[in-house]
Every structure is written in structure tokens, then in C-alpha cells.
Amino acid sequence: MGKALIIGAGGVGRVVAHKCAQNPDVFEEIIIASRTLSKCDELKKELDGGKTKVHTAQVDADKTEEVINLINRFRPDIVINVALPYQDLSIMEACLATKTDYVDTANYEPPEVPKFEYKWQWAYKEKFEKAGITALLGSGFDPGVTGVFTAYAQKHYFDEIHYIDILDANAGDHGYPFATNFNPEINIREITAPGSYWEGGKWIETKPLEIKRTFNFPEIGYMDIYLLHHEEIESLAKNIKNVKRIRFWMTFSQKYLTHLQVLQNVGMTSIEPIEFEGKMIQPLQFLKAVLPDPATLGPRTKGKTNIGCIFRGIKDGKPRNYYVYNVCDHQECYKEVGAQAVSYTAGVPAMIGAMMVLTGKWKKPGVFNVEEFDPDPFMDALNKNGLPWKEDFSPEIFN
Amino acid sequence: MGKALIIGAGGVGRVVAHKCAQNPDVFEEIIIASRTLSKCDELKKELDGGKTKVHTAQVDADKTEEVINLINRFRPDIVINVALPYQDLSIMEACLATKTDYVDTANYEPPEVPKFEYKWQWAYKEKFEKAGITALLGSGFDPGVTGVFTAYAQKHYFDEIHYIDILDANAGDHGYPFATNFNPEINIREITAPGSYWEGGKWIETKPLEIKRTFNFPEIGYMDIYLLHHEEIESLAKNIKNVKRIRFWMTFSQKYLTHLQVLQNVGMTSIEPIEFEGKMIQPLQFLKAVLPDPATLGPRTKGKTNIGCIFRGIKDGKPRNYYVYNVCDHQECYKEVGAQAVSYTAGVPAMIGAMMVLTGKWKKPGVFNVEEFDPDPFMDALNKNGLPWKEDFSPEIFN
């Protein structure tokens, strides 16, 4: 049916490529492109022999011209951007220049002012409309599936949704006392940044990790959850009428927080270089070198993730609660695509988002978040592509 | 009266030098010697103008020949060894060769096999006897004052001491989330080494930090204490007849233990070099460079230390309890001698030990631990030299 250019060959890119290749009727050809060609070639080797034709290319996605050249060379129907969030705008510009549909999983943030906001990408709405192309923003799990869950709840179960709690649990255990999947700097920023939630039509800011609850996650059990700012709150607040409050919660173990706190206390997470034996060294860079290589975590991570949403609202004048969630197993993901659940849960929805656009189900000119489309075909595709969801009409409710 | 050679110009050496200079009738001349001459000269500058005449010299105390030359040059009556424990034997050899009395604060440990034991130094007993000189071992606070406290209890309050608990509390706060006074490697060895205590005539080994209690320290309050091995247990077990059990306890805050544990977990305390940007770097060395400079801790450390012994036994057929302790204030020590209480409590007794030998009160040929002498003049000197002690005849007792 179509041709997709996947930009990014990290964990998420790997999942997207595998999942596209599992749907060769939709993805007849894929081009895997990243800064490091060898990673793309490695993926191609794994996928060659299937029905989907696989190409690879080297690209620096910071440079719009390079992306334009790549698009002109391969003429994809859609670009699946799973590179760095910093690169969203340069890739969107290339899509505009070549009139190519676009999908990503995380919203743009300027490298200097880390702030998760859609404003930079929403500003492209008119340009995409005029160009007659679709940009689908934030089609990962959260944001992404959480927005689809919301649209699904709105369509089938509620007249009005008043409260949304998004709950993201990772009970994965890599067996190390401490390791990070990704840049510890981002981990640290996450837990040291103020939290915020949407209530009564405005943002309410909290101190870092100020609000904590305990939640009994299906198939996992009790875990501590902390209120964080998260980008889908912004789009849901705009797109869900009559919503009174939207909160996002993420699990952190006490052990994880303690390790991060101590490393910060002693200065090991600082990016301020210190002089060491005549050389300037960033403590954070040295810490990264001491910590386990993130690439070694995948095969050894055991346990599950559980991401979902609890909705409370009104249907036919009566109060209603609804919890919809997906449970994903790290080891099973790794067996299937060579990446663990954190990458898997982001990569599968990126593929599905592209599938929605390619098949015309979610194809319309402009810049959109996932909750603005009919959720049914996406929900159906989740069940068929490794992220089945479950419903609970009397979930645990917390305030 | 006499001339003392002080080897070592670190925190403890600084205290010894200042305290000798405060007793010019006993210490008419002192020679401060260390590997780094500038440290000695700095001390001399602070002390010049007093009644005690101050000299300085450079010496590598690992080399017996150098120490012999130094002794021959200055002809001291006694050597006060507050250098590294590794250097005890080379300095004792030099004292033998020159027939000079000797006092130290910490027992010899071989650099390769860290193990606090007196056997290497006790082996010199006959040689010192034959040479007609005195070696006074372990005249710091613990070991040192704790042994004097024991001899004092034995002399004045007990027919038989059955139980000895030595309690060492440091409630000093330097205001940093984490910092170490000395080599973090030694800190880590301390808390990761098995503990041990003496009971029923033999050593009983525990897992590291296995035995924990809480004790309400006078002038400090409740602190967690952990059973550790400590060198004075060995000499007290030998010198105190009928003792049934001797234990040593040290305070560690949960915060301190957590920081050390995390740093160990992530590999930052490893001495195994890793490759970083083409260079081999020991994580522990890099950690030291990131942590606050120990030299900056002195002026900012607030709070008190409390070190003492609780004795339980029999007097005139009746059970008796007795607690004797010293409380020392970090800031007051720093004001007086430019070093905080940890150095102060070790340095003052080293000076007093030398004073006991120089004045003839503790002068006899051989190798001795402090509890083998009459405690009264030492106890008196503690009160006069900044380490007053207090008694409690109904202390809190724990099992």
C-alpha cells in the first residue's frame, strides 16, 4: 500500500521497523535512516527476507536539507519520526517542503529551554492544511495511546469526562542496583522538575515529586506513583470538553529515587566540568561511563509495564468510572523485536499512527493530536499488534 | 623538661603540636616532621612566640634510616608517632636503634592485609625491654582514653569488670549532604568489613553492620550505633581479668550509610580503573575530586562528639554499672587549635601519653597499652587539657 521513512534507529526505531515489517500489506517498503548507518544496516539484516522491502540511509535529522534530499531520493508516503524531540521541527519542515505526511511520538522541545509544550508544533497547523498533508503528533504510548484511550472513552462510555488520571507503571527489573535506560540527565530533570496538572481550566504547579500516591496496578501490584507534568495533559485539556482535572502519574521506586538523589547530592550528575588530572571532565559523563551500558539492559530486564487511564464522568446523567490499560512484558518484547517494553510501547503506536494515515482512516490536512481522530480503528490495531488493552468499570479511585 | 619529635603534620599532628606548646614545662622543645615540610612550617608559624621552642624537618617515615638520622640530629627524648599506621614499625625500629621512647595512637596494619591487630607491635616487647625504653601503644582516644577509662574503672569502682561497651558518637554536621573527613576507601572498608566482639574468651564475628542499637548520648541525644571491630578490644581482652564481653559501637547516620551504599552500588567507589576518553581513571579517585575537599570541613563542622565506656561488673559482691565519657565540641576545637573534634580527641591523648612517659609517671622498659599503667595522672591530665570527662553511675544499659 505505501512506503514509510523511519528516522531513528534506537530502541523505538527498532520496534517501529519490526512492526512495519509485520504489516507488509500496509508497509510495502520502509527506509530506515539515522545518523549511524550501521544501526540501520543491522536492522535491515534482521528484516530482510520478509515481504516488506527494507532500505537504509544515513541522515543528520538536524538538517532539514538532508531530510529533504532523503525524502526526494526515496519518495516515501509518510515520515515516522522517532529521532530526538529536538529534531521534530527540522523534520516537519522537510515534510512541508516535500508534501509528505508526518507522524512522531514526542513533542518538540528546544534544546536550551527544556519544556514539554505543543506550541511550536501546533504553529504549523495552517501550513500543513495548505500543503494538504497530515501531521500526527505524539503517537507513542504516553502521549499517544493515552489520547486514543481518552477519545475511546469519550465516544463509547461518557457524555462528559470530568477527571482523567493517566498512570504509567514500569515494574521492570534489570537486576542492577541502579541503571538508567537512557540519559541520566533526562531522568534527573524528570524528578527534579516541578510537577503540574490541569484543574479548573488552568495549570497547577507542584513541587518536584510533591504529590505521591500508591496504586495497585493490575498484573503488577502496589507501586508508588508520583504526579509529573506530561505533555498529553496540554492537548487533552484543549480537546476534551468539560474536563475538570487531568493528572499524570509515574512510578518511581524508593530505591531509584534514592540513588538519583545521592548521585545528585555528591555532584556526580553535574554537567559543570571539574579539573581532574589536568583534564576537564563532566561528572555526569563520567557517571555514564561507570553505570551499566544501557544497551545491556534489554536482554536482562524482567517484569511488566502497565500504562492506562482512569476516567470519571457522567453517562446518561449517572456517574461512571472507567479504567483502560495495557500490560506489556519486557522479556516477551525483547524476544519478539530485540527491545524491551519501554521502547515497544512507544514504537508500536508510532507504527499504528502511520498505518492510520497511510490507510486513509486518519488522513486529513493539518496538524493533529491522536485524540482528534476516531479511536476505533487504532484501538483495534493495538489488539492486533501486540498491545492488547483491558477494561475495568469499577477501578480503584484515588484523590 | 624534655624534647619531643612529632612525626605527622595532619589534623592529629596539628593538635599534638598545639597541645605540647600549651605545656611548655613538659615540652620545652618540639620537632614537627612530616613528608611535607610546608605543613610543618605552617604549624611552626602558629606556635612561634610561645615558651616551647619549635623546629621542623622533612622526613619519609617509611624509611627507618631517615627517621634514625632525624632522631640523631635533634636527640628527642620521645617520638610521638601520628603519621600513618603503616609506618609504626619503621618508626619503632628507629626508636630501638636510637634508644628513644615511643608513643603512637593507632596500631600497625600491613598495607596489603588491612587488619587491626597488635601482634606486630607486641612482638617488640623484649627488644624494648632490653633497650630500656618505653613504647606506649594506642594513646589516642579510641584506642587510648577508652583503655585509661577501663583502668580507672577497674582501679576505683570494680572488683571485676564483666561487660565493657565502648561507644563512639560523632554528631558533627558539616552541612554537606555527603563528605568524608578522610579517605572514602577507609570509610567503605569500615562499614563493609565484618564486625566482631569479644565474648567468653573468644572473638565472635558478625556480618557488616549486622548489630545495631539506638543509644541516647548525653549532650547529643539518640543516635544509631553499630557494632564494629576495634583494636582496643584485643588489648583489653588481654589486660582486664574476668571480662566476659567487650563490644565497640560507632554511630553512623542512615544518610551517611545510604550515600556510601549508593556510591558503592553504582561503582563510584571502585579502585578498578575504567577507560574514559582514552584515559584510565579510578572511579574512587574521580569521586574524591568531586566530593568537598576534606580540608574545608573543619571550619564548617558543627556539633559534638561523645566517646566513652559503659562498664558492668561487681564491687564488694554487688552489681555495679558505671559510664564515663567525654563530650567534645567541633567548633570549640577548631577555634582553639584549627582542627575539629575528631582530630582533637585523638591528638590530646597522644600529647598526654608522651607527657606521662616524659614525666616518668608511665616510664618503664617494654611495649605497653595504656590500660597497663596507673590511670589517675592521665585522667587528671585529660581534665586539664581540654578533654574533661563525666561519670554516670546509672547509665542506660542495653544488650
Is the Cβ–Cβ distance between B115 and B355 less than 8 Å? no
Residue A1: per-residue pLDDT: 86
Residues 6+ apart with CB under 8 A from B106: B85, B88, B138, B140, B143, B231
Tell me: pLDDT of B126 over 60.
yes
- By Cβ distance, the residue of A262, A270, A281 closest to B263 is A262
In a domain, B222, yes or no: yes
- By Cβ distance, the residue of B258, B267, B279 closest to A262 is B258
Q: How far apart are CA B255 and CA B261, in angstroms?
A: 10
Closest CA to A330 of A368, A369, A359, A304: A304
Residue B184: per-residue pLDDT: 64
8 Å CB contact of A268 and B283: no
- With pLDDT > 90 as the criterion, what percentage of chain B qualifies? 85
In a domain, B254, yes or no: yes
**Chain B nearest-CA residue for A257:** B262
- List the 89-118 stretch of A: residues with Cβ below 8 A of B: none
8 Å CB contact of A290 and B279: no
* The C-alpha cell that represents A212 in the structure block: 505521591
Residue B115: per-residue pLDDT: 63
Distance of residue A265 Cα from the nearest chain B Cα, in angstroms? 6
Residue A190: per-residue pLDDT: 73
In a domain, A272, yes or no: yes
Angle of CA points A216, A329, A233, to nearest 5°: 60
Query: For residue A267, which residues of chain B lie inside 8 Å, CB to CB?
Result: 290-291
- Maximum distance among all Cα pairs of chain B, rounded to whole angstroms: 73
**Chain B nearest-CA residue for A280:** B277
Q: How far apart are CA B280 and CA B286, in angstroms?
A: 11
In a domain, B291, yes or no: yes
Q: How far apart are CA B15 and CA B9, in angstroms?
A: 9
Q: For position B274, which CATH number holds?
A: 3.30.360.10
Residue B181: per-residue pLDDT: 64
Is the Cβ–Cβ distance between B48 and B40 less than 8 Å? no
How far are the Cα atoms of A186, B8, B62, B376 from residue A116, in angstroms, in the given order? 12, 57, 61, 72
Does any CB of chain A come closer than 8 Å to the CB of residue B262?
A: yes
Q: What is the DSSP string of B259-310?
A: HHHHHHHTTTT--S-EEETTEEE-HHHHHHHHSPPGGGHHHH-BSEEEEEEE
Which of A159 and B86 is assigned the larger pLDDT? A159
| Parent domain of A187 | 145-337
Phi, psi of A200 (to 5 degrees): 60, 35
In a domain, A47, yes or no: no
Distance of residue B284 Cα from the nearest chain A Cα, in angstroms? 11
Q: How far apart are CA A130 and CA B213, in angstroms?
A: 74
8 Å CB contact of B265 and A291: no
- By Cβ distance, the residue of B258, B283, B289 closest to A274 is B289
Does any CB of chain B come closer than 8 Å to the CB of residue A287?
A: yes
How far are the Cα atoms of A9, A391, B18, B55, B102 from residue B76, in angstroms, in the given order? 74, 87, 18, 11, 10
Query: For residue A281, which residues of chain B lie inside 8 Å, CB to CB?
Result: 276-277, 286
In a domain, A349, yes or no: no
Q: How confident is the model at residue B106 (pLDDT cuts 50, 70, 90)?
A: confident
For B255-314, write each residue's pLDDT tens digit.
999 998 899 899 998 889 999 999 999 998 899 899 988 778 889 999 999 999 999 999
Is the Cβ–Cβ distance between A109 and A138 less than 8 Å? no
CB pairs under 8 A between A and B: 69
Residues 6+ apart with CB under 8 A from B38: none
* The C-alpha cell that represents A218 in the structure block: 493490575
Residues 6+ apart with CB under 8 A from B119: none
Q: How far apart are CA A291 and CA A311, in angstroms?
A: 39
Residue A114: per-residue pLDDT: 53
pTM: 0.77
8 Å CB contact of A178 and B289: no
- As averages over each run of 10 residues, the pLDDT of chain A (399 residues) reads 95 96 98 97 97 98 97 98 91 98 86 70 95 97 97 98 98 90 67 91 95 97 96 95 97 91 90 92 91 85 97 97 98 96 96 98 97 98 98 95
Q: How far apart are CA B120 and CA B137, in angstroms?
A: 12
- By Cβ distance, the residue of B178, B263, B286 closest to A286 is B286
The alpha carbon torsion through B342, B348, B349, B351 (nearest 10 deg) reads 140
Residue A78: per-residue pLDDT: 98
**Chain A nearest-CA residue for B259:** A262
Q: How far apart are CA B79 and CA B68, in angstroms?
A: 11
- By Cβ distance, the residue of A259, A276, A279 closest to B266 is A259
Q: How far apart are CA A379 and CA A31, in angstroms?
A: 26
Residue B236: per-residue pLDDT: 97
Is the Cβ–Cβ distance between A328 and A345 less than 8 Å? yes
For B234-266, write each residue's pLDDT tens digit.
999 999 999 999 999 999 999 999 998 899 899
Does any CB of chain B come closer than 8 Å to the CB of residue A278?
A: no
- By Cβ distance, the residue of A265, A279, A289 closest to B259 is A265
* The C-alpha cell that represents B211 in the structure block: 548489630
- By Cβ distance, the residue of B259, B267, B275 closest to A266 is B259
Tell me: pLDDT of B119 over 90.
no
Distance of residue B174 Cα from the nearest chain A Cα, in angstroms? 14
Q: How far apart are CA B330 and CA B302, in angstroms?
A: 6
Does any CB of chain B come closer than 8 Å to the CB of residue A37?
A: no
In a domain, B385, yes or no: no
Query: For residue B289, which residues of chain A lie inside 8 Å, CB to CB?
Result: 274-276
Number of structural domains (chain B) is 1
Q: How far apart are CA B275 and CA A288, in angstroms?
A: 12
Angle of helix A11-21 relative to helix A330-337, nearest 10 degrees, comes to 60
In a domain, B229, yes or no: yes
- List the 162-181 stretch of B: residues with Cβ below 8 A of A: 177-178
Distance of residue B292 Cα from the nearest chain A Cα, in angstroms? 8
DSSP SS3 for A213: strand
Does any CB of chain B come closer than 8 Å to the CB of residue A388?
A: no
Residue B116: per-residue pLDDT: 67
- By Cβ distance, the residue of B262, B275, B291 closest to A263 is B262
Closest CA to A266 of B224, B281, B280, B264: B264
Q: Cα A176 to the chain's mean position, in Å?
A: 25
Q: How confident is the model at residue B166 (pLDDT cuts 50, 70, 90)?
A: very high
